[in-house]
Structure 1
Amino acid sequence: MRAEVSKIQDYAIIGNGRSAALISNRGSLDWLCWPRFDSVSIFGAILDPKTGGYWSIRLAGAAKIRRQYIDNTNVLETTFSIGSGKMVVTDFMPVTSEEEKKRRLWPEHEIIRQIRCDEGETSIVVDFDPRLNYGGIVPKIKNAGEFGWRIDIGTNVFTLRSEVELVPGDGLSAKFTLKSGNVVSFSLTFSTEAPGVVPPLDKLATEKLNLTIDWWRQWAAQSNYHGPYERHVTRSALVLKLLSYAPSGAIVAAPTTSLPERIGGDLNWDYRFAWLRDASFTLHALFGLGYKDDAEAFVDWLLHATRLTRPELRVVYDVFGERPPPECELPQLRGHRGSRPVRIGNAAIEQVQLDIYGEVVEAVSHFTRESRKLDRDMQKMLRQCAEYVCEHWYQPDNGMWEERDERRHYTHSRLMCWVALDRILDMQARGQLDGISIEKCKAERQRIREEIEMRAWNSNLGAYAQACGSHEIDASALLLAYHSFEDASSQRMRQTHERIRERLVPRLGLVYRNERSMNRHEGAFAVCSFWEADFLARGGKLSEARKVFEAALAYANDVDLFAEEIDPETGDALGNFPQGFTHLGVINAALALRDCEGGTVGFKS
């Protein structure tokens, strides 16, 4: 049976800090790239149910289905009920400490799917139909006897082991019956250019499950957030951890490519890379929750990634800090629900985005607030950023939304150039940084402020506009308060928020990013909803902030995951999934509410 077409919100994610898989609420694993997030796909039915490849586990008849993550973990449980029978499928990528993995000889890449019959008797159907290289290769699956089933592609080896008999055909399939208390497991592993570890099943699968649950719970327990939105904040933190590439510390924007911002449209992009745009939000969230080790790993990656191109910075990097591949289209895939083209790579690598300098400097500023001394390389990077911003801040760019047309003098880009110089001067004043031209930085910081206050403010609109001299409204104007350029309670910011409410808010909890995206019939941009909640909290409107925040949270799927956008008419998820930027918004808005209620957030004049 071919994979059915699921909506974006029908998926949940599992992973291990190196790659991730998406599994639908029907029990079908429809997206997996190995060995990295940006590797070619092995299962890709989310982009084409006929040719993408999938791995389905289901009951033989129509069943009631519900799912959940085991508390404070990234271990997924899907329960199928039919008549008196109940089956639970537990999906996870094993994870534990590096020392434990070496001691136990765990394979580096493995998915375990464990089936347990909890009640009655259940008839189960399994279909395993991988299609490698984005559906371009139908692999030969060889019977390796007691070592399972193998797929050999060059030096790459995929091994599927099972406790039930699999029958070859279109891939492999199995039909079997379990009685209450019976458990069977499947293990899919991948190895390349090294001897493959073929793990036994039976008790070891359960042992790995328990170790994985313990590892995730120990990590989640490091969070210092214990407020009213703990469930959503913890899930968002767990999503960020899944999007982290453990060997380098990079955090990718999403684990998927080409999930559409408009169903049937062509706004389909590859997000399996790390954007500097997200840097300051990431460090704010990680440090705000107390995940200092993860924050330090991210800063280490940031310094490594930017070292080769400084003083110029790239918009986007791969997980090792290298240049992502050029953008291209995959005509063999029909796209999610017919949304073509499917793209891999991202043309944003060719763009100019001046806001990223402020993002990087703000990230370092979060990192150094505890009077941390700056090493030589970090000081060199900051001096280079200061010089570059002083010389280039007035130029047009593509902006944070990466518009693929003429460059403009975006207000947000001006803001982040101001942030770069402001935070660099702060670090210099704290004695953490030397060798900068203080007077030049102060003078250029003042020039940027005057530019924003005079040219980005549109008196006819009564608001800060999307760009200098523009008449368009953009939700990113709310970040003027987030980054302490202007107090959220100022007259100008209150008016700007009013215009955003009038033009970009279709209903409570949803915000379009700007008028252009609304006119293109994109969805509401999910992170902007959390920016609004953050803004209201900073302005002292805590009751209204909570209403907006809770209305936005209601658009998460059944396991508290968000995509990039939300369809205002249907509430359906749109865009790549799950989206790190959105989950950063959840965390930072919750932190703002907590800190504003405690009186610890103030405006930096």
Structure 2
Amino acid sequence: MRPARIHDYALIGDGHSTALVSRAGAIDWLCWPRFDSPSLFAAILDPEVGGTWRLHPVGPSRVTRRYVPDTNVLETRFDTDGGTLVVTDLMPLHEKHLAFTQPERELLRCVSCERGEVTLEVLYDPRPDYGRAKAQVKDGGNLGWRQEHDGWLYTLRTDVPLQPRPEGGLHGRLTLRAGQRVHFSLTATNDGPAVLPPVGRFSWGQVERTVKAWRGWVSRCRYAGPCREAVVRSALVLKLLTFGPSGGLVAAPTTSLPEVMGGQDNWDYRFCWVRDSAFTARALYGLGYEAEAEAFVSWLLRATWLTQPRMHVFYDVYGRLRTGEEELPHLRGYEGSRPVRVGNAAAIQLQLDSYGEAIDAVAQLARRGGHLDREELKMLKRFGEYVTKVWERPDEGIWEPRTGKREHTFSRLSCWAALDRLLELYGRGVFRNVRIPMERFQQARERLREEIETRGWNRRLHSYVRVLDGDEVDADLLLMAWYGFEDARSERMRSTYRRIEERLGAGDALLYRNENDIQEGSGAFGICSFWKVGFLAKGGGSFAEAERAFEKLLGLANDVGLFAEEVDAETGEARGNFPQAFTHVGLISAALELEEVRPWREPVWRTGREEGSEEARA
């Protein structure tokens, strides 16, 4: 048995954890109670060992699906010769004032027969701890089907009769006729007695409350451009990947989905990268989600507090440093791509670009009147002092290769940005009674500019280059315009773009990160392709070029608007962990850049229900 294509999954979640749902109605990935917890279902990494929960009709069917507009509630529609079955998947969002107790975690699946007669088949086969645990599912009578592991109690309650399978898990079949509904509620608890929500009409009330909650959140979005559907979907993805209690944003909800099929570049992305901070903060502020942007910056300041002046590559959702990496040899990996990894050893790499991205995020907070206390200001000062000491060192760089340190031009650029933003904050009076070494910061900033403009520039190529004194290009060089180091319209940037397009371009829209990716067979990189759109919109090309590239990139999303880390330039297939926050941040940023320079025209309002739209067809 093979897992679904990466492209064929959709995401549901509740701000603590997420689940991947395939077009076949299978939950093939769920980590509870948090994003970085061990999995309960992991069939995406091994269909035989990982565990799955599948609801689908018996026999062949035609599958279409959508999110309920402006929500993260998923509807999968199975049309058979005999009738139509709709599966609604969600993790309920509970209002704080509700007068009943809720479980710590719940995943709700509601099934309705909308036409004719359809036989529903159920396979429920949880395999805790990445398939390593031997915990059995036991019949608890009116309390449901129960499974205990590592202090957690998982309870499935349903109005569908199920039977244990000899090989483990549960199985059942039930014929539904038009108008009939059945329900499945999976809960997890480890603090006190299990809370077991009723199933039935109450379940549909939870669906309605969750739809209302998501739509209330979306109503705060200020974007009114022509690509609202894609922008809102990307914002909803970022919200799903945000850990509610802390504000931290995980890079992706998955581990070890391969960049190269059958290869070894399979990494755990269930952590919060410092690098994402500047890009994410700008995107959230641009959409009007100030509270979320401020929560993320607050998480960033808390996370880096204990390790200052060293800033690590990433932290966990609570802001703790995690450095271990483990391989799981019992899992065959997605399409045989081994090893499967849990944890990520890149945490202890030296990646100097993190300083510029983090301090830029703090500067965005300050520009909007956000408050920084004295201790936070002193920490920023220490970061700046550290940058002046280490910026000349080789590092692993933004893309985290495990092949050694080099003198990356982008790392120098980010160090320049760190000092530039600190000097900006000083000029705004943000530092108040905290003294900073102004001259030292200014001198280091000027030295960085000089080195980038000399050693980072290749006269023969007439281009900025990936590493100092080198002759390779990298898509990250386009961010020189984003950080304000160089105007996108300058001859240097335009010629750099031409060289990047010549060496790294794939078709009219896609970009690889660098030449190594092409040689190693990786896919084109999602966020780099959206950086291209932003660069063109800033004046590096024409508005028409930027908009055309943007529209082509939007066409590479899957059927419910999700992007992975990479895309196969030839087939359009998704590669890497999925969905990827960085790619969706890039989409939002590119859309905002286009709106800033869009020539005047009649506004285009997308309601999501135009004739021919997915919602209209459903």
TM-score, normalized by length of structure 2? 0.95
Q: Are 1:566 and 2:567 counterparts?
A: yes
Residues 396-545 of structure 1 mapped to structure 2, 5 A cutoff: 396-433=394-431, 434-539=434-539, 541-545=542-546
The AA in structure 1 aligned to 2:273 is: W
CA contact (8 A) 1:128 1:172 kept: yes
Distance 2:369 2:185 in 1: 48
Distance 2:227 2:379 in 1: 37
| Residue equivalent to 2:606 | none
The AA in structure 2 aligned to 1:52 is: G
* SS at structure 2 position matched to 1:298: helix
* SS at structure 1 position matched to 2:275: helix
| Residue equivalent to 1:122 | 118
* SS at structure 2 position matched to 1:173: strand
- Please list every run of 5 or more consecutive structure 1 residues that lacks an aligned counterpart in the other structure: 600-605
* SS at structure 1 position matched to 2:307: coil
CA contact (8 A) 1:257 1:268 kept: yes
Residues 10-49 of structure 1 mapped to structure 2, 5 A cutoff: 10-49=8-47
1:508 Cα shift? 1.3
Distance 2:35 2:585 in 1: 19
The AA in structure 2 aligned to 1:568 is: A
**RMSD value over aligned CA atoms?**
1.1
1:325 Cα shift? 4.7
Tell me how many residue pairs correspond in the alignment: 595
Distance 1:166 1:267 in 2: 40
Distance 1:197 1:293 in 2: 31
* SS at structure 2 position matched to 1:419: helix
Q: Are 1:555 and 2:586 counterparts?
A: no
The AA in structure 1 aligned to 2:400 is: E
Q: Are 1:583 and 2:584 counterparts?
A: yes
CA contact (8 A) 2:128 2:149 kept: no
1:84 Cα shift? 3.8
The AA in structure 1 aligned to 2:226 is: P
1:97 Cα shift? 3.1
| Residue equivalent to 1:602 | none
The AA in structure 2 aligned to 1:145 is: G
Q: Percent of aligned positions with the same letter in both sequences?
A: 50
The AA in structure 2 aligned to 1:575 is: G
Residues 327-366 of structure 1 mapped to structure 2, 5 A cutoff: 327-366=325-364
1:61 Cα shift? 0.6
Q: Are 1:145 and 2:141 counterparts?
A: yes
| Residue equivalent to 2:384 | 386
1:371 Cα shift? 3.8
Distance 2:490 2:439 in 1: 28
Q: Are 1:178 and 2:182 counterparts?
A: no
Cα deviation digits, residues 448-490 of structure 1 (max 9, x gap): 0001000001111111100111111100000000111000010
1:373 Cα shift? 4.2
Distance 1:396 1:97 in 2: 50
| Residue equivalent to 2:107 | 111
CA contact (8 A) 1:119 1:179 kept: yes
1:254 Cα shift? 0.2
1:376 Cα shift? 1.1
Residue 160 of structure 2, aligned match among 140, 148, 164: 164
* SS at structure 2 position matched to 1:251: coil
Distance 1:406 1:4 in 2: 36
Cα deviation digits, residues 154-203 of structure 1 (max 9, x gap): 42100000001111113101101111010110000001133210111111
Distance 1:389 1:409 in 2: 15
1:375 Cα shift? 1.5
Q: How has the CA–CA distance of structure 1 residues 131 and 371 changed in structure 2, closer, same or farther, with 3 Å as cutoff?
A: closer
Kindly report structure 1 stretches of 4+ aligned residues shifted beyond 4 Å. none
Distance 2:468 2:7 in 1: 37
1:552 Cα shift? 1.1
The AA in structure 1 aligned to 2:46 is: D
The AA in structure 2 aligned to 1:504 is: L
| Residue equivalent to 2:613 | none
* SS at structure 2 position matched to 1:581: helix
| Residue equivalent to 1:603 | none
| Residue equivalent to 2:595 | 594
* SS at structure 1 position matched to 2:252: coil
* SS at structure 2 position matched to 1:132: coil
Q: How has the CA–CA distance of structure 1 residues 391 and 233 changed in structure 2, closer, same or farther, with 3 Å as cutoff?
A: same
- Please list every run of 5 or more consecutive structure 2 residues that lacks an aligned counterpart in the other structure: 601-618
Cα deviation digits, residues 328-361 of structure 1 (max 9, x gap): 1000000001111100100111200111011110
1:372 Cα shift? 3.8
Distance 1:65 1:134 in 2: 29
Residues 44-443 of structure 1 mapped to structure 2, 5 A cutoff: 44-100=42-98, 103-169=99-165, 170-433=168-431, 434-443=434-443
1:569 Cα shift? 1.5
The AA in structure 2 aligned to 1:47 is: L
Distance 2:100 2:283 in 1: 34
CA contact (8 A) 2:363 2:425 kept: yes
Q: How has the CA–CA distance of structure 1 residues 154 and 536 changed in structure 2, closer, same or farther, with 3 Å as cutoff?
A: closer
The AA in structure 1 aligned to 2:542 is: K
Distance 1:30 1:190 in 2: 17
